[in-house]
């Protein structure tokens, strides 16, 4: 299959130049089959799920539940009811932090996060800690962007209740050793949540092999529509957590005196879900599996190495995140130029990159910088696009020095 041809938006021209889309860590573009799944749903299937006695409702429910099985297989979860649909990674982490916090966090307890987390895996835990009188402990990382495992081991004590770390850093691209991090947490009888927002479209994820207790990701970063995400949780733990939001399908019986709750996964799916987007997620998984996640990783690694080698020749360039084990994210600065200026000049040449703190302000503080320019590749990017990008950087760099 010719990958690039599947993405109509990649034919777009910006300022009269062909679009070079290198902002894939923020969101990936969508292949035609995902767009078709979405329009197909609204053209011929739209109805509310689980409730109606009619044909369309039954069909939509069937497709929605089939997607749950598809996701279960995709990440190798043991049970389909361990897959909870949310709006995205942020909502998935908030769900766990709020419910886990309510059930297990008390005054004096501790939650371990890493120094390279996205705000979405910091702030929900801070909120939970504030409510309980608990506090965050932070795993430091090296200049290259590698987590300090010895320090991590030293953070555990009798107050530690949960660990929350990302699989891949959205700013540094580091692939963290999640199996090792999980096994260390479990040696202390502490559960672990993995933020998989930046790994799910690049690395084959097997939640049973990792052994983690929660794994969260967003559809829109893996070729699916915005508005759908996943919270995977181990059955035993999910059963112990209270519901998150109330209403809709999450109940068994409601009286004014007492409400009892539905079984998994419906206990955590209050209100009408984004059904069309969920069906789009199924299509995105089909797309990824047609190519093969390993092949996607190989294409992206080759592009990253190619770009990185050429970028190193640019005078004054500084890289942030040079861990040996990385995905296709390159964060950099040119001399003392403000990242926003670099991004704006690239934009005028048709190249879309991300600039700023990337919702990881603690990483910026760690390096003492205001932000970075971030180029991130997906499987539809090409070496020709990298060449355009390098030529643009070579043109821009002397203007900014
Ligand atoms: N965690 C990481 C590592 C991310 O990169 C992102 C998105 N930038 C998120 C969490 C939040 O994802 P979303 O905005 O889709 O909820």
pTM of the model: 0.98
pLDDT of residue 111: 98
Q: Which atom of ligand 1 is nearest to the CA of 117?
A: 3
Q: What gap in Å lies between CA 94 and CA 122, rounded to an integer?
A: 10
CB contact at 8 A, 121 and 147: no
Identify the three-state secondary structure at position 375: strand
Identified catalytic residue from 129, 212, 359, 379: 359
DSSP H/E element including 240: helix 235-240
Is residue 129 among the annotated active site residues? no
Ligand 1 center to 295 CA (angstroms) = 23
Q: Is 9 exposed, middle or buried (0-12, 13-18, 19+ CB in 10 A)?
A: exposed
Helical H segments across 75-163, by residue range:
89-104, 123-132, 149-155
Backbone phi and psi for residue 113, each to the nearest 5 degrees, phi listed first: -125, 175
- Residue with structure tokens 């429910």? 61
Q: Which atom of ligand 1 is nearest to the CA of 218?
A: 15
- Residue with structure tokens 């479990």? 186
Percent helix, strand and coil across the chain, each rounded to 5? 45, 20, 35
Tokens matching residue 31: 């292949």
pLDDT of residue 1: 67
Q: What gap in Å lies between CA 6 and CA 23, rounded to an integer?
A: 18
What are the residues whose beta carbons fall under 8 Å from the beta carbon of 230, sequence distance 6 or more? 71, 75, 83, 84, 85, 86, 92, 215, 216, 217, 219
Q: What are the tens digits of pLDDT across the range 220-262?
A: 999 999 999 999 999 999 999 999 999 988 999 999 999 999 9
pLDDT of residue 136: 98
What are the residues whose beta carbons fall under 8 Å from the beta carbon of 25, sequence distance 6 or more? 170, 198, 221, 329, 354, 358, 374, 376
Q: Where are the beta strands (DSSP E) in 39-148?
A: 83-86, 110-114, 135-139
**Is the beta carbon of 120 within 6 A of some atom in ligand 1?**
yes
Q: Tell me whether strands 192-195 and 214-218 are parallel, antiparallel or unpaired.
A: parallel
Q: What gap in Å lies between CA 264 and CA 242, rounded to an integer?
A: 11
Query: Which residues in the chain show pLDDT less than 70?
Result: 1
CB contact at 8 A, 323 and 225: no
Ligand 1 center to 166 CA (angstroms) = 10
DSSP H/E element including 399: helix 383-400
Which CA distances in Å does 321 have to 120, 286, 305, 364, 372? 20, 32, 14, 12, 11
Closest CA relative to residue 299, chosen from 325, 327, 323: 327
Query: Hey, which of 123, 170, 229 would you mutate to test ligand 1's pocket, going by the most ligand atoms within 8 Å of its Cβ?
Result: 170
Closest CA relative to residue 289, chosen from 10, 76, 81, 78: 76
pLDDT of residue 52: 77
**Is the beta carbon of 88 within 6 A of some atom in ligand 1?**
yes
Q: What gap in Å lies between CA 383 and CA 131, rounded to an integer?
A: 50
Q: What gap in Å lies between CA 193 and CA 97, rounded to an integer?
A: 10
pLDDT of residue 293: 97
Q: What are the tens digits of pLDDT across the range 298-322?
A: 999 999 999 999 999 999 999 999 9
Phi-psi region of 29 (alpha: psi -120 to 50; beta: other; left: phi over 0): beta
């Amino acid at each position: 299959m010719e990958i690039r041809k599947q993405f109509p938006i990649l034919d777009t021209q910006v300022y009269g130049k062909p679009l070079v889309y290198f902002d894939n860590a923020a969101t990936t573009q969508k292949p035609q089959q995902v767009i078709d799944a979405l329009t197909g749903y609204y053209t011929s299937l739209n109805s509310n799920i689980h409730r109606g006695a009619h044909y369309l409702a039954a069909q939509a429910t069937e497709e929605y539940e089939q997607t749950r099985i598809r996701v279960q297989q995709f990440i190798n979860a043991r049970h389909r009811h361990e897959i909870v649909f949310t709006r995205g990674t942020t909502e998935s982490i908030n769900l766990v932090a709020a419910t886990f916090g309510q059930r297990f966090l008390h005054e004096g307890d501790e939650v371990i996060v890493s120094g390279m987390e996205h705000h979405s895996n910091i702030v929900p835990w801070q909120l939970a800690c504030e409510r309980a009188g608990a506090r965050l402990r932070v795993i430091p990382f090296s200049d290259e962007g590698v987590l300090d495992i010895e320090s991590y081991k030293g953070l555990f004590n009798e107050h530690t209740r949960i660990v929350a770390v990302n699989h891949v850093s959205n700013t540094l691209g580091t692939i963290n050793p999640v199996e090792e991090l999980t096994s260390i947490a479990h040696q202390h009888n502490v559960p672990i949540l993995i933020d998989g927002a930046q790994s799910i479209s690049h690395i084959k994820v097997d939640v049973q092999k990792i052994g983690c207790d929660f794994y969260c990701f967003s559809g829109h970063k893996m070729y699916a529509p915005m508005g759908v995400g996943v919270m995977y949780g181990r059955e035993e733990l999910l059963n112990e957590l209270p519901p998150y939001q109330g209403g809709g399908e999450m109940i068994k019986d409601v009286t004014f005196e007492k409400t009892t709750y539905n079984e998994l996964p419906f206990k955590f799916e209050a209100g009408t879900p984004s059904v069309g987007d969920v069906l789009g997620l199924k299509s995105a998984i089909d797309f990824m599996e047609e190519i093969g996640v390993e092949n996607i990783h190989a294409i992206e690694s080759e592009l990253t190495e190619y770009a990185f080698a050429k970028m190193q020749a640019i005078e004054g360039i500084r890289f942030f995140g040079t861990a040996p084990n990385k995905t296709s994210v390159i964060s950099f600065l040119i001399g003392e130029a403000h990242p926003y200026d670099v991004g704006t000049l690239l934009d005028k040449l048709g190249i879309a990159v991300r600039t700023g703190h990337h919702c990881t302000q603690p990483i910026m503080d760690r390096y003492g910088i205001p932000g970075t320019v971030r180029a991130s590749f997906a499987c539809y990017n090409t070496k020709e696009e990298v060449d355009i990008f390098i030529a643009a950087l070579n043109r821009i760099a002397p203007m900014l020095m």
